[in-house]
Amino acid sequence: MPELLPRARSSQESVFARMSRLAGQYGAVNLGQGFPSDAPPAFLLEAARRAVGVADQYSPPAGLLALRDALGADLGVDGADVVVTAGATEALHLLAQALYGPGDEVLMLEPVFDIYLPQARLAGATPVTVPLRRTEAGRWTLDLGEVRAAVTPRTRALLLNSPHNPTGRVFTRAELEALVALARQHDLWLISDEVYDELYFGERPPSLRTLAPERTFTVGSAGKRLEATGWRIGWVACPPGLAGNLAALRQVTSFCAPTPLQAAVAAALPVARRTGFYEGLREGYAARLHLLAAGLRALGAEVDLPGGTYFLMARRPGWTAAALVEHAGVAVIPGDAFAARQPAPGGLFRFAFCKAPAQLEEALERLGRFGQTSPVHE
């Protein structure tokens, strides 16, 4: 019998899929995988109902013109430079295939969103991580000197994620400017994963492409913005002139994203902007963040407050992700799932707070009960 290639043999269920499966198995409150418990907004659902039965066949590989135009208007770019993808995951895969290959190195920050590593390796490239360091106060700092030192003649791209999953770190304009200067000096591509661009709790995160439009690919997600992660509508805003090749490349991955859902997102994007949907989303999530953070602190946990995303990192002695899902009935993501180098910075857990307040309260109550049966060990 022939064998699967090593890359397939070494492929495993992702931590997100696993924690959602275990949450189902143990009847746990799922604060693991980052998807909202609320329904998507009615204006999005209605637009989808209108599109099914009307826009059911393939779209052009670059995406429905209406959606590319809507994204262009929303992002402040030319719609012709936008490629619609089957989720941000496909966008990131396409960029890996297009921008680096065997012998190349790709810089990324650690903790690292798990798919960046296998996507680089599938492209034949080597992921090189630069650590974000966590201070005593629970702030994650970026040492630009370390990024500079990690650049080699083989470095082809810098993959940034802001707001950053899992730490919630929002990179400042000064940090981005320094990274752009580095990218220009070494002629690197910039990939900016901005799927949480509308989910922030302070100032709006600066967008990398405004600083380096000639070399930045911006990745976005309707799933994250419009609370419909299962729809698989993402996008890439490309430097001018490059969208055609990326669209051609994606003909061999998924050909196009689901057409009726593209039509629905095209209709919904201007409505979301006009009606203050994102402001409402941020207000709702800020309240949930504080509910969860205060509750976890009351249980003796140390909590890092995020600047964006719908995740927070927390730790408390005595917790393990396995014990929490199985015995406490709360699914979370262990921090070491985001580590490229083992061992990972110990004891941190990522909690998703994109869940109904009642679910967050239920999770806190369960953690409280679990804490009583499993006292804090130092």
Identity of the residue, 59 or 165, whose beta carbon is nearer to ligand GLN in the bound complex: 165
Identity of the residue, 119 or 129, whose beta carbon is nearer to ligand GLN in the bound complex: 119
Amino acid at 32: G
Tell how strand 330-331 and strand 29-30 pair up. Answer: parallel
Identity of the residue, 96 or 183, whose beta carbon is nearer to ligand GLN in the bound complex: 96
Q: How far is CA 266 from the centre of its chain?
A: 21
Q: Show the binding pattern over residues 142-181: x = contacts ligand GLN (CB under 6 A), - = does not.
A: -----------------------x----------------
Nearest approach, Cβ of residue 250 and ligand GLN (Å): 18
Nearest approach, Cβ of residue 33 and ligand GLN (Å): 5
Nearest approach, Cβ of residue 88 and ligand GLN (Å): 8
Identity of the residue, 23 or 243, whose beta carbon is nearer to ligand GLN in the bound complex: 23
DSSP string across 138-186: S-EEE-HHHHHHH--TTEEEEEEESSPTTT-----HHHHHHHHHHHHHH
Instruction: Find the angle CA(194)-CA(199)-CA(202) to the nearest 5 degrees.
Output: 110
By residue count, the chain amounts to 378
Nearest approach, Cβ of residue 198 and ligand GLN (Å): 15
Residue 336 within binding range of ligand GLN, rule CB under 6 A: no
| Count of chain residues binding ligand GLN (CB under 6 A) | 6
Helices (H), the chain: 6-9, 15-26, 42-51, 65-75, 87-99, 116-122, 144-150, 173-186, 208-211, 222-225, 243-249, 259-274, 277-298, 321-323, 357-373
The residues with which 219 forms a beta bridge, in sequence order, are 193, 236
What region does 300 belong to: left with phi over 0, alpha with psi -120 to 50, or beta? left
Q: Which two tokens stand for residue 41?
A: 């907004």
Return the residues of window 8-47 that contact ligand GLN according to CB under 6 A: 14, 16, 33-34
Q: Which of 70, 77, 34 is nearest to 217 (CA)?
A: 77
Instruction: Find the angle CA(61)-CA(62)-CA(66) to the nearest 5 degrees.
Output: 115
The residues with which 303 forms a beta bridge, in sequence order, are 314
Beta-sheet strands, E only, within the chain: 29-30, 82-85, 105-110, 126-134, 140-142, 155-161, 189-193, 216-221, 234-237, 302-304, 311-315, 330-331, 333-334, 349-352
Q: Which two tokens stand for residue 311?
A: 């995740």
Q: Show the binding pattern over residues 338-377: x = contacts ligand GLN (CB under 6 A), - = does not.
A: ----------------------------------------
Identity of the residue, 239 or 335, whose beta carbon is nearer to ligand GLN in the bound complex: 335
Q: Which helix (H) or strand (E) holds 245?
A: helix 243-249
Identity of the residue, 161 or 262, whose beta carbon is nearer to ligand GLN in the bound complex: 161
Nearest approach, Cβ of residue 24 and ligand GLN (Å): 15
Nearest approach, Cβ of residue 34 and ligand GLN (Å): 3
Instruction: Find the angle CA(63)-CA(165)-CA(332) to the nearest 5 degrees.
Output: 115
Nearest approach, Cβ of residue 16 and ligand GLN (Å): 3
Identity of the residue, 37 or 89, whose beta carbon is nearer to ligand GLN in the bound complex: 89
Identity of the residue, 16 or 26, whose beta carbon is nearer to ligand GLN in the bound complex: 16
Identity of the residue, 33 or 167, whose beta carbon is nearer to ligand GLN in the bound complex: 33
Nearest approach, Cβ of residue 225 and ligand GLN (Å): 13
Q: Show the binding pattern over residues 58-97: x = contacts ligand GLN (CB under 6 A), - = does not.
A: -------------------------------x--------
Nearest approach, Cβ of residue 165 and ligand GLN (Å): 5
Tell how strand 140-142 and strand 155-161 pair up. Answer: unpaired
Residue nearest to ligand GLN (CB): 34
Nearest approach, Cβ of residue 301 and ligand GLN (Å): 20
Q: How far is CA 259 from the centre of its chain?
A: 23
Identity of the residue, 105 or 338, whose beta carbon is nearer to ligand GLN in the bound complex: 338
Residues lying near ligand GLN in the complex (CB under 6 A) are found at 14, 16, 33-34, 89, 165
